[in-house]
Amino acid sequence: MNTLTNLTIDKALDGLKNKEFTSVELTQAHIDMMEKHNNLYAYITETPEIALKQAKASDEKRGTGNEIGILEGIPLAIKDLFCTYDVQTTASSRILEGFKPKYESTVTTNLFNNGAVMLGKTNMDEFAMGSSTTTSYYGNTINPWRRKDDLNQDLVPGGSSGGSASAVSAQLCMGATGTDTGGSIRQPASFCGISGIKPTYGRCSRWGVIAFASSLDQPGCFARSVKDNALILQAMAGHDPKDSTSANKPVPNFAAAIDGNIKGKTIGVPKEYRVDGMPEEILKLWEQGIEWLHDAGAKTVEVSLPHTHYALATYYIIAPAECSSNLARYDGVRYGPRADESDLLDMYEITRAQGFGDEVKRRIMIGTYVLSSGYYDAYYIKAQKVRRLILQDFLKAFETCDALITPTAPSAAFAIGENENDPIKMYLNDVFTVPASLAGLPGMSLPAGVDPQGLPLGLQVIGRPWDEETVFKVAGVIENLANFTARPQILL
Amino acid sequence: MSLSKEEVKKVAGLARLRMNDEEMERLAPQLSNIIGFIEQLSELDTDNVEPLANVVDITLPLREDVVSDGNCGEEILANSQDANQGYFVVPKVIE
């Protein structure tokens, strides 16, 4: 096993500090792993030259004794939804093939200012619409995990940030950025046996992140430990005047919150998340999670989130509505391929028909329909009203508890091709993650056990608005007690 | 709730998506299913509920009314398939 790629970020920072290895060596080890496991298709664009240049600069910076960044010399992967200067950024869509932004997203700027090294841009569902990373124009990403009884069957890494999750799990990077609109960080983290956090809406700037549903989209990250996530989020987050929904609030020291002490905390268990047909092993893991919290000295209480049942329907009005509006900009004029037509309307319509995949078209169509004249109040305004009821449910629950514990997803990773012909079945993957997204709350998934096939299962911790610290604290305790040591077969 | 092919055609036009008959026929039942699914919200009483557009409790900030960028015409045009003399070129619209 390659020992450098096996490290957590936390340990690698120690190694760099103690001159046990350089960032160039650490980065090269990951580039070698990317080459070795390129059949996972985790990356759309690999940027080894940029990575080695950044790593060299980082090593030089360390050598001078100047102040260093939180992630100084750490190689990361960047979801292909973040605009990166002069590096192709596609959102996994054909309609952005060849697009090389002339600006850098605020999140990646913050990461680079903190010393991070970029290994490449990771695959995802097209425009972040999906839960499987099978809607990418650039092919499917494969989950490094396999079922014990069927080692030949390729499984999905979840989505939309499936490339990032697969890359972190297979040690093709030390951590990665993701974005989460309805579960796009937490569900793939659960499917790939790693941890990932979606912070409070407004914690990270959306500037330079290709927009899907602006009132829900939020950047976050993946890593192989809770503390590593705290370090990456610390480096990404912060106020940005270029995003009007970015909060002007100080960023706390997230890693410091992971102190193992949850004595006196009360954790809520939402009874509506006990849905029909949930696999036995997921219910059992959830019970186990509650027990771990008791062992650590926390109290748990049952809470009610009565509008949970309506969250998915609300989401599948608001997200497509905002997507149809955001994706109106792709007309072939300013970026991406353009259909060669002599009539302007033909050019627009054919460019878009050729450029978007089926799932994106479905969502644009639903969004256009619910926003169209005569339906706007019945669907869009109605969904915004139910969204308020869902937020109020959470705020009421937080009057009696400090955080919530739930399963992350209703299943382990499924096979590529499964759920494909039934959009609604696919949407049900996000049943436990969508409500917190609608309420803008921070949520973290961490691996806590495996199913009978040896596939990882995640638990989710949801916190109050702006209280990522409690989320990290509780997740850190569960991580410690769960002692999840399983690894994907390809690493054994 | 079921969407007719005519309705799908109208929405596709509004969304500027060119579709042939076969595609519209394939899409109509899928969209009808999704519309059927989201219609469950109608069973909820929301008469006295204010719509929620933004979940974070921050007011939209204003900035000083000063020029903050510019002189980046070339960069803006750099990704276009057809740019000429500082302009995006599109098919002729005015006869």
A23, A79, A131, A473: which is the annotated catalytic residue?
A79
Per-residue pLDDT of chain A (492 residues; tens, 9 = 90+): 458 999 999 999 999 999 999 999 999 999 999 999 999 999 999 999 999 999 999 999 999 988 999 999 999 999 999 999 999 999 999 999 999 999 999 999 999 999 999 999 999 999 999 999 999 999 999 999 999 999 999 999 999 999 999 999 999 999 999 999 999 999 999 999 999 999 999 999 999 999 999 999 999 999 999 999 999 999 999 999 999 999 999 999 999 999 999 999 999 999 999 988 889 999 999 999 999 999 999 999 999 999 999 999 999 999 999 999 999 999 999 999 999 999 999 999 999 999 999 999 999 999 999 999 899 999 999 999 999 999 999 999 999 999 999 999 999 999 998 877 777 777 888 999 999 999 999 999 999 999 999 999 999 999 999 999 999 999 999 999 999 999 999 998
Tokens 């949930």 — which residue? Answer: A278
Q: CB–CB of B91 and A348 under 8 A?
A: no
Whether A67 maps to a domain, the answer reads yes
Whether A49 maps to a domain, the answer reads yes
The whole-angstrom distance between B67's CA and the closest CA on chain A is: 14
What value of ipTM does the predicted structure carry?
Answer: 0.96
Whether A234 maps to a domain, the answer reads yes
Could you give the CA distance from residue A165 to residue A157 in angstroms, rounded to a whole number? 7
Crossing angle, helix A106-113 and helix A226-236, to 10 degrees?
110
Could you give the CA distance from residue B59 to residue A356 in angstroms, rounded to a whole number? 35
- Residue numbers in B near A385 (CB within 8 A): 46, 49-52
Domain that holds residue A212: 9-257
Whether A56 maps to a domain, the answer reads yes
Whether A33 maps to a domain, the answer reads yes
Domains identified in chain B and CATH numbers: 5-43 (1.10.20)
Query: Which one of A382, A389, A441 would you mutate to disrupt binding with B, by most B Cβ within 10 Å of its Cβ?
Result: A382
Query: Which one of A330, A369, A419 would you mutate to disrupt binding with B, by most B Cβ within 10 Å of its Cβ?
Result: A369
Alpha helix ranges (H) inside A121-208:
162-169, 186-192
Q: CB–CB of A365 and B92 under 8 A?
A: no
pTM for this model (two decimals): 0.97
- Residue numbers in B near A423 (CB within 8 A): 30, 33-34
**Residue A79 appears among annotated catalytic residues:** yes
Q: What is the CATH number of the domain that holds A154?
A: 3.90.1300.10
Q: What is the DSSP string of A313-358?
A: HHHHHHHHHHHHHHGGG-SSSSSS-----SSHHHHHHHHHHHHS-H
Whether A173 maps to a domain, the answer reads yes
State the pairing for strand pair A117-122/A43-46: antiparallel
Query: Which one of B18, B69, B90, B93 would you mutate to disrupt binding with A, by most A Cβ within 10 Å of its Cβ?
Result: B18
In contact, A200 and A468? CB cutoff 8 Å? yes
In contact, A213 and A180? CB cutoff 8 Å? no
Chain B residue with minimum CA distance to A438:
B55
- Residue numbers in A near B31 (CB within 8 A): 362, 365-366, 369
In contact, A34 and A5? CB cutoff 8 Å? no
DSSP 3-state percent helix, strand, coil across chain A (nearest 5)? 40, 15, 45
Work out how many domains chain A is built from and give that number. Answer: 1
Tell me the two tokens of residue A130. 């999906």
Tokens 């103690």 — which residue? Answer: A18
**Residue A160 appears among annotated catalytic residues:** yes
Could you give the CA distance from residue A475 to residue A398 in angstroms, rounded to a whole number? 17
